[in-house]
Structure 1
Amino acid sequence: MKTQYSLVRKIWTHPITVFLISQWFFFWLAILIIIARFAPNFARDGGLIRGQYSIGYGCVAWIFLQSGLGMKSRSLMANMLNWRAHTTILVLSFLITSSIVYGFCCAVKAANDPKIDDWVLIGLILTATCPTTVASNVIMTTNAGGNDLLCVCEVFIGNLLGAFITPALSQMFTNRPPFQYGNPATGNGIGALYGRVMKQVGLSVFVPLFVGQVIQNCFPKYTSYYLGFLKKYHIKIGSYMLLLIMFSSFSTAFYQGAFTSVSHACIIFICFFNLGIYLFFTGLSYLCARPWFIIKIFPHEPIEGKSTKLYRYSYKFFRPFYYSKEDAICIMFCGPAKTAALGVSLITSQYGDKKEHLGKLLVPLVLYQVEQVMTANFFVSLFKRWIRKDDQADGSDSSCTHGNEEADLEKNISIETDERQTVSTNTAPFTQAR
């Protein structure tokens, strides 16, 4: 009996077994995609459990309720006022990404490959115009040790503005050749779009975040017990909710025949294209978050009596655009990410009643969502080590080092993490580059 127990324990603690267990998120994602393929009516929009409400609102709201419970109000407000970071992320998320994807799509269109469906190219452009994702970037930023408070603020601001910016960009890119055929309906659906997005952002992001803040400040003792319970038993609510959100997106896509409406060659092209532009935009986001020339131009703080007035004022304005590592991680997750939770509503509403090509339009967005989550999860461990280098260089204990490198996709903030993030977010706009 003891020999059997020893053998089981040896297998359970084997590095391969530990690695497989740490990838539980992707195993469950594969299972849910299979279920969505054969039973799409269960979790789709308008399906058996009314996925647009139970998952689209409920699961997202739970994620932001967790965020509200774990974030200090002062730090949250400090990040809400960090206009430099918001400007950088919004320009990346809406203008730069959509313009680059539009250029690539023009090149593909000019190649005139019959295997690439014309409406899939429109779907790629629409995907690029969508705001940053609602849930996954908050979870990934938290797990990587980045500035999750800034990420929450950006989700709220980006998706609120997306209701206005996304339709405008869609019109701009499709009101002339070569994509004039995909110009969305202007008379139907656009008016209702704003109300729908405002309601979804308000009820699933703002209200639960506000409720979480109220509970945290009014009942700090019970909040601490709740978060401690989740941490003690490794209950990863954020990751569970993210799985359900992706499950609903795939169910809707399968129900609408998204993956059967285009050729296999076209789907393969979309997969590689999405992966390539996500990696490219992540690298571009890093260059925008930590531009090397700012360090060259402003190598040191102004010295009283020696530095010119021009240098002092220029340093004060431009140097904060070289962000701390915590803020840079947030920018690298928010900049390339695109939402499917609101993106489906944005695309569906723009095209009004003309939905014969809706399945093709949604293919790039749904595939981009799963690819960005998988790739971002890979980046989490890299960003963790990137931040940990500074902790080790400072001689501090790395409190985020665990024996298991499993993605801690949870909004459970310990005292040490909360103190570190509070200092980072309060000083982020004026911090000196490490």
Structure 2
Amino acid sequence: MNSYLLKNVHLYHQGIFKKTDILVKNGYIEKIDENITGFEPVIDLQGKYASHNFIDIHTHLREPGFEHKETIHTGSLSALYGGYGTIVAMANTLPCMDDLEAVEDFKQRVVHDACVNVYTYSAITENLKGQKLVDMAQLIQEDIVLGFSDDGKGVQNDDMMDLAMQLAGNLDSIIVAHCEDESELHGGCIHEGHYAKEHHLIGINSASEYKQVARDLDIVRQYHNRYHICHISTKETVDLLHQARQEGLCVSGEASPHHLILTEDNIQDCSPQYKMNPPLRSKEDHQALIKGLNEKTITVIATDHAPHAREEKATSIEKAPFGIIGLQHAFSLLYTYLVKKNLVSLETILDALTVGPAQVLRLDCQIQEGSLANLCIFDLNEHFIIEEKDLKSKSANTPFLGAECYGRIVANIVNGEYNDLEEK
């Protein structure tokens, strides 16, 4: 259904909520006004809330190569139910997204199977090995490629990252950096904090993240290229990003919902469902992330949706793979555990899910007459429990099973098409 009248909706746009009606014809917003009549069908939203649908610029769809974990269809279906209209997939597939053949194959799979708009990054280096740059000039010509990322591995060689930044800058493209200095890693599985010590686990220190951030920002100061920091988890990284933005550099950073909600104190029974990279950090780190989000140092919330098959997580925390799923319930968790606890405003959360990522990747995020309708609708009063049977992902690796939430996504309009998520 792509022609309809939305009645009685609290629309969030450009920093404010306004009660209004929205007329959509043939997928495009024809009119936004306080009282529109004379059109059928009418969808009376009865005071529910709406915003531009969300944009996730960091998600792992696993296809091709790891379809036992997730597929383009199941991952994008999770995104649809989470209120997302656009997601950007990471390049660590098999084959790696590092040449035209792989990108073209991915593009055809998206056309056939995706439930929302799907883009991808190209790898920075061939097969994420950090040894040879991809053909950046060729790959960025593909409409589906929005930038370059070796996510899953940090680029260890300083000269290689320097060259990547220089070339990306010449192309007016962006480096989306997984910052992890492997010289600081010693086989750790969780943060190098009190929980690791108490349970005799090898820890992952904060320097493994912020040392590469510091290196990269120094390169940005030389080339003034576009640069984005993935999944910020440490207070030192927040400080480094704040300083760089104060200097006027074209840099940005994201935090994941799990790092904004949980700390090492939330880990239970050494469960591998709490194992992610970067790890859940200290209370001080968490407080710095919240402050960074509120002060607009961190302008993006990105899920780092990382599905793994059930049997892969059904082992010890030391042996299990890093990562949790996040697309379907990101908004509800953020609303419940940040907004309702008065840690972050609803407006800040919505901005970090919409205009923030749109600005980083230069995507359209307009809600105006004449624009394609891309809206998600949510009921802030609806209460529910996250249960495995309701997951749209192929995987269930999340510490949030059983969590009580408010703020259910009840409908998602993607490219004008109205998807009623309560009926499906």
The TM-score range, normalised by the shorter chain, is under 0.3
| Length-normalised TM-score, structure 2 | 0.23
Larger % of strand: which? 2
Higher share in helix: 1
Pick 1 or 2: higher relative contact order, CA cutoff 8 A, min separation 6: 1
TM-score by length of 1: 0.23
